[in-house]
Structure 1
Amino acid sequence: MSPRKRRRTIDLGTIRAVKIGTPPPISDIYYATMEMSWPTFIALVSLVFVGINLLFGLLYAALPGALINAQPGSVADGFFFSVETLGTVGYGNMAPATHLGHLIAAAEILLGLFFSATITGLIFARFARPRTSFEFANVAVVGRRENQRLLMIRLASTRLRAIADCTAQLSWVRKITLNDGRSFRQLVDLPLVQSHHPQLVFNWTLVHEIDEASDMYQALLAGGEFRLTATISGIDTLLASQAIGGTSYRRKDILIDHEFDDMIDDSRETFEFDLTKLHGVHPRS
């Protein structure tokens, strides 16, 4: 029987996909620990911490007289002495009494240095990991402006500081079938009216002009597979780091003859931008 292939779910905005045959997490422990959720990470660290101390506790318990003031054969005393040693606390009520006990304690201290440094580094890396600075509307729309049909995708910055030097790209996944029946998927770039934004503070609508002979639009109206992919990158002016975002849309996520609701209210003295209206759309009048 062939081994069961690993299946991992991938979130692509409005699309969920499954990767089959991915390497096990043990092949890249750093990436696996960065990818897991905080509750899972905390549970894993706690399990490793308990496992290390339980192992050394059993060693101390198996060596009669190895510890001063410890009950002979007591796993509990060995465990708690191990916790104190690994954490470099050293209350002083228990201590190694033999050369072998000192050797085991020294090995545990060395292991504790690696364990503490590794966990500290992972915790810092998880806190310092960049979070997405962009949110995309959960639908795209096809509307008209001055008799020109347009495909529009709206996104907004979730940060309070500006995202500088933003560059966006829009692509269409086209399925091509050859004469011999074989097929492959081709990523086709869709030109944008404006693909660069010098300073994104509020929202940005990516606009692609659709001509009458557009293969993309014909595929959108027809049946079969259809997918759009939008990506954006920029520089977070507060963190001085790169901000990246992206999403994908299927046919059912693209509304024809619709428009986005206005997110900006400048009728008052205070300029207001309502991020909760990002997904709002209405039929084109």
Structure 2
Amino acid sequence: MGGLNFRRRLSFLTSRAQLVHLRSRNGQLEVEGLDRWYRYWRDPYHLLLTVPWWVFVVLLTLGYVGVNALFAWAYLLDPNPEAIANAKPDDFADAFFFSVQTLGSIGYGAMHPTTLYTNSLVALEAMASMISIALITGLAFTRFARSQARVSFSEVAVVEPFEGHPTLVFRTANRRRNQILEAQLKVYLLRDEISQEGQAMRRFYQLDLIQNETP
């Protein structure tokens, strides 16, 4: 009985871990689980690199406010009402802005820590500040330095005769105000076919281009 329960638990954990899996449907293999929203949060680094800039700024703002609110709540846990000099006792706003000064290394004015507990939190928040600044700087630099293709394709492709042969024709254009040198282009045709064994599959065929490279 104990062995059966162990196998059930192991099977449950395995099924929970395999969030992305292949499933056969109508004779075709489909990938399931990629569109679940919580999967994006399992790779926060890639998420912060790929989201739009306004989402990136909103996430940083929420994180900034959240960290300061967390430390402000921690400062208020000190039983000494004068743990933060010149701050109102049990006042969340003063504790929050004291956390802002600590996290931003602004330098204390009237408010400053006076107890061992508060000074320990200040040291912890200063370390968190250095780590967060390094991470945010790295993320911002990577987002700015990452190259993105600005190439447009015609919405409609046509088949017309060219040098006596029916030819698939479409246009590409560079949306940047610069020149693309030695650009290479490959075009593939995707077809759903049935193999000799009766299995559904998708094949890729590389098409021959009249010119596949720019000088």
Cross-structure match for 2:9: none
Instruction: Determine the C-alpha separation between the residues in 2 that align with 1:73 and 1:62.
Output: 9
Instruction: Determine the C-alpha separation between the residues in 2 that align with 1:188 and 1:108.
Output: 57
Q: Does 1:21 align with 2:11?
A: no
Amino acid at match of 1:60: Y
Cross-structure match for 1:45: 60
Question: Cα distance 1:19–1:84, how it changes in 2: closer, same or farther (>3 A)?
Answer: farther
**Would you tell me which structure has more strand in proportion to its own residues?**
1
Instruction: Determine the C-alpha separation between the residues in 2 that align with 1:19 and 1:44.
Output: 30
Instruction: Determine the C-alpha separation between the residues in 2 that align with 1:194 and 1:103.
Output: 67
Deviations 1:164-214 (A, max 9, x none): 11111011112221345321011111111111111xxxxxxxxxxxxxxxx
Q: Does 1:77 align with 2:94?
A: yes
The match for 2:155 among 119, 138, 141 is 138
Instruction: Determine the C-alpha separation between the residues in 2 that align with 1:84 and 1:159.
Output: 42
The match for 2:181 among 135, 154, 164 is 164
The match for 1:155 among 156, 161, 172 is 172
Task: Using the aligned pairs only, state the percent identity.
Answer: 34
Cross-structure match for 1:265: none
Larger relative contact order (Cα-Cα within 8 Å, sequence gap ≥ 6): 1
Q: Deviation of residue 133 (structure 1)?
A: 2.8
The match for 2:51 among 36, 42, 65 is 36
Q: Which runs of 5+ in 1 are unaligned?
A: 7-17, 199-285
Cross-structure match for 1:181: 198
Instruction: Determine the C-alpha separation between the residues in 2 that align with 1:42 and 1:160.
Output: 27
Q: Deviation of residue 74 (structure 1)?
A: 1.4
Deviations 1:59-89 (A, max 9, x none): 1112122211111111111111001110111
Cross-structure match for 1:86: 103
Amino acid at match of 1:117: A
Instruction: Determine the C-alpha separation between the residues in 2 that align with 1:179 and 1:69.
Output: 83
Question: Cα distance 1:98–1:49, how it changes in 2: closer, same or farther (>3 A)?
Answer: same
**Would you tell me which structure has more helix in proportion to its own residues?**
2
The match for 1:59 among 70, 74, 82 is 74
- Aligned residue pair count: 186
Q: Deviation of residue 31 (structure 1)?
A: 0.8
Instruction: Determine the C-alpha separation between the residues in 2 that align with 1:69 and 1:166.
Output: 65
Instruction: Determine the C-alpha separation between the residues in 1 that align with 2:60 and 2:154.
Output: 37
Normalised TM-score (structure 1): 0.60
Cross-structure match for 1:101: 118
Indicate if the aligned counterparts of 1:175 and 1:183 stay in contact, CA closer than 8 A. yes
Q: Does 1:190 align with 2:207?
A: yes
Amino acid at match of 2:178: R
Q: Deviation of residue 119 (structure 1)?
A: 1.3
Instruction: Determine the C-alpha separation between the residues in 2 that align with 1:92 and 1:122.
Output: 32
Amino acid at match of 1:21: G
Q: Deviation of residue 100 (structure 1)?
A: 1.6
Instruction: Determine the C-alpha separation between the residues in 2 that align with 1:180 and 1:101.
Output: 72
Normalised TM-score (structure 2): 0.79
